Amino acid sequence: MLINGQWAKDFHPVQGTDEDGGFVREDSSFRNWITADGTCGPSGKSGFVAEPNRYHLYVALICPWASRTLMVRKLKGLEDVISVTILEPRLTEKVWRFGGNPLSLPGTQADPLYKADYLYELYLRAKPDYTGQITVPVLWDKQQETIVNNESSDIIRMLNNGFGAMANNNIDLYPEPWRSEIDTVNDRLYEQFNNGVYRAGFATTQLAYDNAVNDVFKSLAYIEQRLDGHDYLVGDRLTEADIRAFVTLIRFDMAYYGLFKTNLKRVQDYPTIHAYVKRIYDIPGMAETVNPAHIKAGYYSIRALNPSGIVPMGPTMPW
């Protein structure tokens, strides 16, 4: 991580622990918003006006948080408005590295803006005295040469409703009548499921691990129950709640079940959830955001969990 703009600590997945030895995730640092008229959004101190070809997304396909921004960008038809760079999925001592060289995994790319070697170099461009972890996604403003936002939950909201006529507004992933229910589902699943798998994998005590695994499988039961007789988690169409659930579900059998030892059951052992994940994956464009080779290579590169560095053979998709 960086402390006052200096590289001070090589990557380790456990950013902090609570009193029970549980994994604690660091809050995102850049929380400004893109809006149609450039006014400030719900967080941050500055507003950024929506314009074509001004913004750039840095993502890694291993990362569920980054992948949900790619899903929303695709669904909203913003591919020609917001450019993207795919980083190496394999984590290094300095975390996220750019690709595009002979040793890189296929599908990764070099930094098109500054020819940086590592993503932390862009954090320093945005804030030379930055202190904190280096995370994806990063939404970058090419005009002001700074990070707009590195919190995926903010980014998917601004992609959904911040680009006006530049976006496909036949799709609304956060419709007004369902916002309260979507927020309830998101809140129910985030800490116990989306982050719950990480709490299990990175637990430093047996108690913390047991609590996390219990939360994960209670959450899968909750998802199965909500889908009983329904195609989606809220209402009768795809919403933000489905995007946020999908990115964890699609990685579950590939990585969390084995490496994170959330191994009581697989997603494919839940017939309703299994069908739901396949239904979302089959939406045009969604398969492009899921790369099993990147997901497995990335997670199994975490030496704290897999000292050998060997990526096991075996199933990828839960079907």
Q: Specify whether 63 is catalytic.
A: yes
Distance CA 133, CA 5 (A): 11
Q: Specify whether 40 is catalytic.
A: no
* Marked catalytic residue, from 55, 63, 123, 270: 63
* Marked catalytic residue, from 120, 123, 130, 198: 198
Query: Any idea which residues carry the catalytic annotation?
Result: 63, 198
